[in-house]
Structure 1
Amino acid sequence: MAKAAGFFNLSIKNILANGRSSLENARIRLLYYGLLLILGTVSVIFINQLVQNQAVMGYITGTLLICIIILFKYLTWKPDWRFVSHALLVTGTMINMVDAFLIFQQVDIISVQLVLLIVIFGFYMLGQKWGMLYSILNVVPIILFMIYSSNNLYIINFRPSHLDQATLILGVLTNFILLVFIHNHFYQAFQTNMRQLKKNSEEQGRLNSVLEAAIDKAEKSSLAKSEFLSTMSHEIRTPLNAVIGMSNLLMMSNPRPDQKENLEILKFSAGNLLAIVNDVLDFNKIESGKIVFENIRFNLAELMQNICGGQKPKAIEKGLNFVLDIDSRVKNKVVIGDPTRLTQVIFNLVSNAIKFTQQGEVHVLVELVEDRHDRVTIQFSVKDTGIGIEKENLNAIFEPFTQESVTTTRQYGGTGLGLAIVKRLLELSGVQMQVLSQPGRGSEFSFNIEFPVSTEPVVEKVIKPQEPVATEQDGESDMSHLNVLVAEDNMVNTMLMKKLFSKWKLKSSFAENGALAVEQVQYGNFDIILMDLQMPVMNGFDAATEIRKLKDPKKAVTPIIALTASALIDIREKVFDSGMNDYVSKPFKPNELREKIMKLTSGDALLNDNSQVAL
């Protein structure tokens, strides 16, 4: 930055700025030393004209001397080099015109030098546009004057003046010095700029190398983070699968009331741990920017009933009144959007409302705000009568791993990721969350989403009587005809699957790795395959690919369900790309696994698979 230059400053050091470019500082130096040179020359000429009693020339030179002094003082006070340059060029143009057309009425060497000075000075100081303008203003009139005066005619009836020899020599010398000084000064500035440019280029190259290394390091760090989370997810989910699975098996065995209570505590704690792991992984997916939103048809009212239906028992356990209020105009609407992400948002908001409410109610409202036939705007609102939030903490609750206070964290637990996930998902959808809250009286979270409305006619579902699904308690064996192959390398999970299948009366075989699984499919007959993805010798993806290549068409289309504890973002695509039919995340819910086995082994499913292979 430039130093503060006072009104009485005369030093050039105080008007040069570190923040300016070298070219701007060169222009200020040129003006400073050029004005000093002109000031000295004009002073000598003025004194000489006073001595020789040249009144007219004395007045003109004196006026010029005053102008130069004012411009020099202005430059040393406020280094506005553009204004000073324009002022000098205007002054030089006026002197040139007055000398040629009025005072001397001829074009002499000084006039030519002055024109050259103005042309060079205009381009160097103010650039092409102004340089061209001042050049035209000086060159054109001089050329026209030379043509007009070629017949020894005067422009006006006024006797021209003549310069004495000393003044002429001094003027010519000064002009030559100025011409040489301008060229030399800007050549040095040009050389300095070239050196600086080279230095900057080298520095830019070095910075680019550092930046590339930093980007490479960041990418490797991000990949390592993703792989670490995937590995940790697998390692945590694998024992959790056994804990939750064994808890489910023990609860299916009609335990005593005291045993059932202990098992429920065990299952509840394992579920909380799983929820924490899921929150961390979900947040990592969102922060990585690899979340892809689906656009599929779904019934909004049914989705909300399913979400809140799973949460309502938790509210009832706490003695809360749970209300789901769906606008009647929404109940028959089939919209297009991402039901999975909407479920995640509503689930987190409702779960938080129940968690932080000790008495009163939780009210979930779904209201139609605007209906434009092809698009609808829906307002979602989750209101509770819980502990509320202080106004100054409203922004903090949306930060990751943050809750309103340490006391809240200790009392209610949790990672503080729920609302962070909600906010990120809504922001990625272009939706803003509104929060109204009063400490001790409750909170209300609301947001509006615009959905395209499906133009396809709504097909009313006809509920047909179904045979009751066999449960572990009723002893039915409707799955006893199925022969299942399980590819699993973890002994605890193998033991769990054996016990679970014995409850379902399923015939099962086990392979310790993918290669053995492919071999058993070649020589055996299986109705369905459960394939772990991370196994020694051959992983689940490769094993599924090899099975799909089998020559026996019946074995090649055997349904395969992936069993994965991985947290990779693109796991779903990899599963389907390898030829598998579906996947279940560990720890899996027995009913979910059972439903998928039943679905894939039904006659219609097998027929569809066979037809696809034939195509």
Structure 2
Amino acid sequence: MSTAAGFSNLSIKNILSDEQTMLAQARIRLLYYGLGLVFVAVFAVFLSVLFIDQTPLIVIAGGVLVLIAGLFKYLTWKADWKTVSHALLAVGTIINLADAFVIFQKVDILSIQLVLLFIIFGFYMLGQNWGLFYSLVNLLPIVLLMIYSYSNLYIIGIRPEKLDQSTLIISVLTNFIMMVYIHNHFYNAFLKNIVQLKKTGEEQSRLNINLEQAIDKAEKSSHAKSEFLSTMSHEIRTPLNAVIGMSNLLMMGNPRPDQQENLEILKFSANNLLAIVNDVLDFNKIESGKVVFENIRFNLAELMHNICGGQIIKANEKGLIFKLKIDDVFRNKTVIGDPTRITQIIFNLVSNAIKFTRQGYVEVKVNCIEDRHNQVVVRFSVKDSGIGIEGDNLTAIFEPFTQESVTTTRQYGGTGLGLAIVKRLLELKGVQMEVKSKPGQGSEFLFSLELPVATDKPEEHADKPRIAPQHDSELSNLHILVAEDNVVNTMLMKKFFSKWQVQSSFAENGERAVEMMQYGNFDIVLMDLQMPVMNGFEAATEIRKLPDGVKSSVPIIALTASALTDIREKVFSAGMNDYVSKPFKPDELKEKIVTLVKRKASVTSATFNQPAL
């Protein structure tokens, strides 16, 4: 109902509003104009019966006039069409039955008209259930009266009244007019509703088409973004590979102390840039839903010591006290989870704590909250005595590319992605981060993880043996094929192989690498993935198709500057044995080369020595 309606209101505009349905508005209009029409008709009947001095009919007509006026006033005040409809039907039913059974003592055309009128009005105004109720209440007594009057003369102690011809004509005409009016009104209302529904359906269809186009555009945009990030990852990490690799080479050459310091600064800066690139790529993985959590065995105490080992050095360089406290229960307990993601979370939190603490301490705690034999609840806490966070900014710091303030960004640097990554990784595991902080007094970040406990003995995995770092002499007899199109990376690999005393050959693209494999003998292949003519995936697939079993089974290590999640699956699907991300760590590459070569040699030896059947 419109707020403009009041007790003194008489306008229909003030009782209609956009909040009402189209059908409710049609019912209000029917009552508003119908009550006016009925009032005029009943007033004509009232004058007619008044002229012929029929007291019972005068009383009924006068009462109906008062009722209609009252209901009209109530409608224009409250717009309560349901109550008005019930009142009209209830009073009309009583009057109709009184006329048939008492006043006229017979069923005539007027009674039949009123029954039909009430049936139509009841269904249109109040719906199926109430319409059926009022129809039966009016129809059954009239039918029973007709049946009884057919076989018996209906006589009660009251003399029946008779309508004069003019009153009868007025009454019959009024009833017909009301029937036509109700049908016409609701026909128009339903027709408008159908037209409106058709327009709404057409609009919905247009919206669905637009939505499908928007979804398609968003998917293409997301795919383009992923491709862009993959390309940018490759383009940024490839030169970083050369910078960090050359730094490692120079530092291996026993430089002077001043050169050593410069090289450490160069390597530190390159690693910082690499960390920023990795943060952006990791955040993209999380946002696109491509993060998959592993479930592998690990010792939590050892993992925490490994994570914090390098951070302790950073803290000590700033003059900070670094404390790591781990419950003893974790020292001999193997849990199952994703150590990579736990490392990422703790590393980000600890790095932030060290970055934003000028003096004092950084404390990392790992407490066992609950130990249920096959599952433990671990409470992680990273606390510092740093600059703290304003209460109003506790939510903002977890938003991507956001820090507490512009001043913080200028003073401490960073992308503002660390905490966003932490928050989203925890949310993917259904865990919420708790933050306690006071400006100038430090901060504490806490969260809890449920980790299954490995109760059985770990199996030995022959396919992934761990070996100690190998000496260069173990590589001296190897002949390595390197498929790499980047000149700088080629120069870098040559220098490393020279120090490792490895014989190497280079192919500038995948097609050339396949040709060299056909005519040469190599112990292992290092395959760059993004190359012209034929990429690394296609080249690896072609090598696996070679007719010579020894060449087709040669170990292949993918060299990739992309850090997208699905690279791992693509590498193994193409038949490659392992992969190393650029910028690679020399010891990691060396270890994987030796591991795969030894594995290939042991398989070949076992096959050769197998007795013939």
Same fold (TM over 0.5): yes
1:519-530 equivalences in 2 (<5 Å): 519-530=515-526
| Structure 1 CA distance for aligned equivalents of residues 512 and 89 of structure 2 | 92
- Offset at 1:96? 2.2
Aligned twin of 1:61: 61
Deviations 1:73-128 (A, max 9, x none): 12222222222222222222222222223322222211111111111112112222
> Which range moves more in the overlay, 186-195 or 347-356?
186-195
Native 8 Å contact 1:5 1:14 kept in 2: yes
- Offset at 1:446? 0.5
CA 1:363–1:182: 2 relative to 1, 3 Å:
same
- Offset at 1:468? 6.8
Select which of 461, 479, 497 maps to 1:501. 497
Aligned twin of 2:100: 100
Aligned twin of 1:564: 560
Aligned twin of 2:419: 419
1:50-449 equivalences in 2 (<5 Å): 50-154=50-154, 156-449=156-449
Cα RMSD over matched residues? 2.3
Aligned twin of 2:531: 535
Q: Secondary structure at the match of 2:97?
A: helix
Q: Does 1:492 align with 2:454?
A: no
CA 1:109–1:605: 2 relative to 1, 3 Å:
farther
| Structure 1 CA distance for aligned equivalents of residues 392 and 423 of structure 2 | 18
Deviations 1:456-495 (A, max 9, x none): 235899xxxx997356xxxx52211221111000000000
Q: Secondary structure at the match of 2:416?
A: coil
Native 8 Å contact 1:600 1:606 kept in 2: no
> Which range moves more in the overlay, 177-186 or 488-497?
177-186
Q: Does 1:514 align with 2:510?
A: yes
| Structure 2 CA distance for aligned equivalents of residues 586 and 307 of structure 1 | 21
Identity of aligned residues (%): 70
CA 1:579–1:155: 2 relative to 1, 3 Å:
farther
Aligned twin of 2:589: 593
Give the TM-score taking structure 1 as reference length: 0.93
| Structure 2 CA distance for aligned equivalents of residues 51 and 608 of structure 1 | 125
> Which range moves more in the overlay, 528-537 or 350-359?
350-359
> Which amino acid letter does the alignment assign opposite residue 129 of structure 1?
N
CA 1:96–1:244: 2 relative to 1, 3 Å:
same
Aligned twin of 1:38: 38
Native 8 Å contact 2:280 2:417 kept in 1: yes
| Structure 1 CA distance for aligned equivalents of residues 309 and 601 of structure 2 | 29
CA 1:225–1:610: 2 relative to 1, 3 Å:
farther
CA 1:10–1:274: 2 relative to 1, 3 Å:
same
- Offset at 1:607? 2.0
Native 8 Å contact 1:479 1:506 kept in 2: yes
> Which amino acid letter does the alignment assign opposite residue 495 of structure 1?
M
Native 8 Å contact 1:385 1:442 kept in 2: yes
| Structure 2 CA distance for aligned equivalents of residues 157 and 115 of structure 1 | 26
CA 1:610–1:133: 2 relative to 1, 3 Å:
farther
- Offset at 1:29? 1.5
| Structure 1 CA distance for aligned equivalents of residues 46 and 535 of structure 2 | 99
Q: Does 1:482 align with 2:478?
A: yes
Q: Secondary structure at the match of 1:601?
A: helix
> Which amino acid letter does the alignment assign opposite residue 117 of structure 1?
L
CA 1:608–1:456: 2 relative to 1, 3 Å:
farther
Give the TM-score taking structure 2 as reference length: 0.94
CA 1:37–1:200: 2 relative to 1, 3 Å:
same
| Structure 2 CA distance for aligned equivalents of residues 155 and 579 of structure 1 | 105
Native 8 Å contact 1:336 1:453 kept in 2: yes
Native 8 Å contact 1:101 1:155 kept in 2: no
Unaligned runs of 5+ in 1: none
Q: Secondary structure at the match of 1:402?
A: coil
Native 8 Å contact 1:297 1:336 kept in 2: yes
> Which range moves more in the overlay, 596-605 or 502-511?
596-605
Native 8 Å contact 2:555 2:600 kept in 1: no
| Structure 1 CA distance for aligned equivalents of residues 53 and 176 of structure 2 | 27
Name segments (4+ residues, structure 1) moved above 6 Å. 608-611
- Offset at 1:605? 7.5
| Structure 2 CA distance for aligned equivalents of residues 522 and 117 of structure 1 | 97
**Alignment length (residue pairs):** 604
> Which amino acid letter does the alignment assign opposite residue 21 of structure 1?
T
CA 1:9–1:390: 2 relative to 1, 3 Å:
same
Q: Secondary structure at the match of 1:568?
A: coil
Q: Secondary structure at the match of 2:451?
A: strand
> Which amino acid letter does the alignment assign opposite residue 282 of structure 2?
D
Native 8 Å contact 1:323 1:363 kept in 2: yes
> Which range moves more in the overlay, 315-324 or 350-359?
315-324
> Which amino acid letter does the alignment assign opposite residue 286 of structure 1?
I
